[in-house]
Chains A and B, each alone.
Chain A
Amino acid sequence: MAHQAHAYHMVDPSPWPLTGAIAALLLTSGTAVWFHFHSLTLLTMGNILLLLTMYQWWRDIIREGTFQGHHTPPVQKGLRYGMILFITSEVFFFLGFFWAFYHSSLAPTPELGGCWPPTGIITLDPFEVPLLNTAVLLASGVTVTWAHHSIMEGERKQAIQSLTLTILLGFYFTFLQGMEYYEAPFTIADGVYGSTFFVATGFHGLHVIIGSTFLAVCLLRQVQYHFTSEHHFGFEAAAWYWHFVDVVWLFLYVSIYWWGS
C-alpha cells in the first residue's frame, strides 16, 4: 500500500469531470436544437448524462471521505472553502436578477405607464401565500439548526426527525409556490414585470429544489450512519446552502412581493 508524507488527498483519476463536460455540451447544444428544430433528443441525453455524472461523482466523494478516510482536517477545510466560494458565486448570480428588477422598477418606462407595478398588472397580495412561504422557510431554518445540534450531540433519532421536518417544509414551500405560479393573474410574458418576477422567483424555486435534494441525501446518509458528531461536513454544506436559499427568499419577498406591489 502506498504512503504519503502529507495530509492532503491526491484524488484517483476519474471519468466524471469528462462526462460532466460532455453533459454540459449536450445540454447547451440540446437547448439550441430544441428551440430551432423542436427535437428533444440531445437535451434528454444531456440530462441523463448530467444526472449520472452527479450521482457517480458525489458517490465517489462519499466513498473517499466517509469510507476511506481521505477527508482529513486540511482536506475538510478545502471543502469548506469550496462550498463558501460556490455559495458566493450563487449570491452574485442572484444579484444580477435583483439588479434587473430594481433597474426596471425604480424607473418604470412609459410603456408600463411610468409606474410600478405596471398598468394592468394585478400583483399577488404579499400578506397571503407569500407570507406563509416566508414563515415556512424561516421555520425550516430553525429545524435544520435543530438537526445540526442533534447530530453534534449524537441524538440520532432527533437528527432524523428534524432533518425530515426540514425537507417536508421545503417540499411544502415548493408546493405552495407551484400553486401560486398556477393561479397567478400574470405570466412571464407580461412585460418586464412578468420577466423579473418569474426569472428571479423561478431560479429561487429551482434552488429550493436543489437544496431539498441535498438535504434528502443527507437524511439518507444520516440513516446509514455516515455522520459522526465531530465530522459531518456534507450536512453542514447542505445547511449552509439551505440558509442561503432562505436569505435569498427574504430579499425576494421584501423587494419583489412587498415593495414591488
Chain B
Amino acid sequence: FSPVGKMFRAVVRLSTSGVRNLARTRPCYSAPLSARCYSHAKVETDEEFDARWVTYFSKPDIDAWELKKGMNTLIGYDLVPEPKILDSALRACRRLNDLASAIRILEAVKDKSGPHKDIYPYLIQELQPTLTELGISTPEDLGMDIL
C-alpha cells in the first residue's frame, strides 16, 4: 500500500463524514428562525454606539480634522444620529470656533432623514436649549434652507 493511497482514502473518509455533519449542524435553509447564520463578532448595542460617539466628540482637545472626520464617518452610517451625539458635536464646534460646521451638521441630519420629514423638527426641538446656549442659528433662521 503506498502512503499516498492511504492518505487519499483517509481524506475521502473525512470529507464524506464531514458532509454528513454539515447537513446535521447547519440547517440554514429549513431552520426555525432562532438558528441564524450570523457571524460571531460582538454586536454593539444602540446605547454603546451612542456613548462611543458622544465620547468621540467630547474630547476636550479635539482638533478640527478629527471633528470633520468624525462627522463624515457618522453621516456615512445608515442612521440619523441621536440628539445627544449631535449635542456633543455642536459643543466640539463651539470649542473649535467653527460655526460653519455647526450649521452644516444641522443641514446634514435634515438630509439624512430622507423622506421622514418628522425627524428634523424633533431634533431641532431636542437641541433647542443647546442651540440657544451656543448661539447657533438653524439653516431655516438664516434662509439657507431654500435652494
Contacts and interface: CB of A to CB of B under 8 A. Distances in A.
A109 B66 CA distance: 11
Contacts of B67: 107
A107 B108 contact: no
Which interface residue of A106, A113, A114 has the most chain B CB atoms within 10 A?
Answer: A114
A7 B101 CA distance: 66
Interface in A102-126: 103, 106-111, 113-116
Contact of A108 (B66, B72, B98): B72
Interface string B55-85: 0000000001111110110000000000000
A116 B72 contact: yes
A114 B69 CA distance: 9
B128 to A, nearest CB: 22
Contacts of B98: 110
B100 interface: yes
Contact of B66 (A107, A110, A115, A116): A107
Contacts of B104: 110, 113-114
A114 B72 contact: yes
B66 A114 contact: no
Contact residues of B: prevailing secondary structure: helix
A153 B5 CA distance: 40
Q: Number of contact residues on A: which range applies?
A: 10 to 19
Contacts of A113: 104
Contact residues of A: prevailing secondary structure: loop
Interface in A72-129: 103, 106-111, 113-116
Contacts of B68: 107-110, 114
A234 to B, nearest CB: 45
Nearest to B73: A106
A114 B65 contact: no
Given A103-B65, A107-B66, A115 B72 contact: yes
A115 B100 CA distance: 13
B103 to A, nearest CB: 9
B101 A107 contact: no
A100 to B, nearest CB: 13
A103 B101 CA distance: 17
Nearest to A116: B72
Contacts of A107: 64-69, 72
Nearest to A115: B72
A106 B100 contact: no
Which interface residue of A107, A111, A116 has the most chain B CB atoms within 10 A?
Answer: A107
Interface in A45-96: none
A110 B72 contact: no
A108 B64 CA distance: 10
Nearest to B66: A107
23 contacts: A103-B65, A106-B69, A106-B72, A107-B64, A107-B65, A107-B67, A107-B68, A107-B69, A108-B68, A108-B72, A109-B68, A110-B68, A110-B100, A110-B104, A111-B100, A113-B104, A114-B68, A114-B71, A114-B72, A114-B101, A114-B104, A114-B108, A116-B72
